[in-house]
Chain A
Amino acid sequence: MSIATLDFASTEAAIGRGGGGPAPTRIVVAYGFWIFLLSDIILFSGLFAAYAVLQDNAAGGPTGRELFSFKTVFIETMALLVSSYTCGLAALSMERARADLFYVFSALTFALGAVFLGIEISEFAGMVGEGAGPSKSAFLSSFFTLVGTHGAHVTSGLLWLVYMVAQVAVKGFRPNVRQRILCFSLFWHALDIVWVGVFTLVYLIGGR
């Protein structure tokens, strides 16, 4: 057995156990961002818990059944889901160093994210216009906080995406730009995971 093989065997034994020396920056950055995303999901769990506790306290105002439209939510859900897919394809184009495809899929991701956000804003505006704003009842306060926080995340994701496209245009696929794009795609996928919880608990269960 050669020394190289022995060395390989000892390194392999150390995977996932913190041994074998410091990990490359690429892995440390993505792991740190993964921890941030999990903490962000814990933030949402607090808002989900508040909604679950307060959803029946409509205070004589409109309930979810009167306010939510399944059709609108379905279009919203599909827009965000497909944007998650095109975001994955944009990251894949980056791995293949195809800037042209990266721009196309990033533009699609942005457009679908903007459709999602536009529908949400018009839904919020409609509800506030009907007198069902966040100050109407505990149910509506928790609804606007939960869904609005998700919408704020989507908004910052869209700004981040514009920023990443600009960085690729100016700097190309440098290692640090690639890391940022991978972090962005993790962020965008995580937002879609949170939305699965929102459309199920808030709209489908609350709107039945």
Chain B
Amino acid sequence: MAEEQIIHLHDRTPGVRHEEPTADFLTYTAGLVFAIALTAVSFVVAQTNLLWGPGVAMGLIVLAIAQIGVHLVFFLHMGTGPDHTNNIIALAFGMMIVFLVLTGSVWIMWHLNDNMMPMSPGMH
């Protein structure tokens, strides 16, 4: 067995890499460049007519999800290897709850708003 494999015997902690320090520095820097680029594109898309009007909100959400992915991979060093299994399972469960809370609330409440009787200005 190669010596380097023995180092990876244990599960990995989130936020820690076990490669060369220079690679770490480059990872953080690449993450910063990607994140700044995605942020800048988000602000440009929100203020211009680059995207078709009704699609801007969806485009911004996609950009935000991409940027969160960049943060997870480059800053929190989430990976796909077997030593990351526990971290990824916990993350997936957390994201499922977030998704249920957000879409569930929005879905129910927007339908509720649509079904309310129209209020005249004098009604309270």
User: Which A residues fall within an 8 A CB radius of B?
Assistant: 5, 8, 11-12, 15-17, 20, 23-24, 26-27, 30-31, 34-35, 38-39, 41-42, 45-46, 48-50, 52-53, 70, 74, 77-78, 81-82, 84-85, 88-89, 91-92, 95-96, 182, 185-186, 189-190, 192-193, 196-197, 199-201, 204-205, 207-208
Contact = CB atoms under 8 A, between A and B. Distances in A.
19 contacts: A23-B10, A27-B10, A27-B11, A31-B86, A38-B93, A41-B98, A49-B105, A53-B109, A92-B28, A96-B21, A182-B16, A189-B76, A192-B75, A193-B72, A196-B64, A199-B42, A200-B42, A205-B46, A208-B56
Given A15-B10, A16-B86, A45-B102, A89 B60 contact: no
A16 B102 CA distance: 30
Interface residues of B, number: 56
A20 B60 CA distance: 44
Contacts of A81: 32, 35-36, 39
A16 B11 contact: yes
B14 A204 contact: no
A93 to B, nearest CB: 10
Contacts of B101: 42, 45-46, 49
Nearest to B99: A45
Given A30-B13, A42-B94, A74-B43, 13 more contacts: A16-B85, A34-B87, A38-B93, A45-B98, A49-B102, A50-B105, A78-B36, A81-B36, A81-B39, A84-B71, A189-B15, A192-B75, A208-B56
B15 A186 contact: yes
Contact of B11 (A8, A15, A52, A91): A15
Interface of B: 1, 5-6, 9-16, 21, 24-25, 28-29, 31-32, 35-36, 39, 42-43, 46-47, 56-57, 60-61, 63-64, 67-68, 71-72, 75-76, 82-87, 90-91, 93-94, 97-98, 101-102, 104-106, 109-110
Contacts, number: 153
A200 B61 contact: yes
Contacts of B86: 16, 31
Given A34-B90, A35-B90, A193-B71, A16 B83 contact: yes
Contacts of A34: 13-14, 87, 90
Contact of A208 (B28, B46, B93, B98): B46
Given A16-B83, A34-B90, A205-B60, A77 B39 contact: yes
B42 A204 contact: yes
B24 A70 contact: no
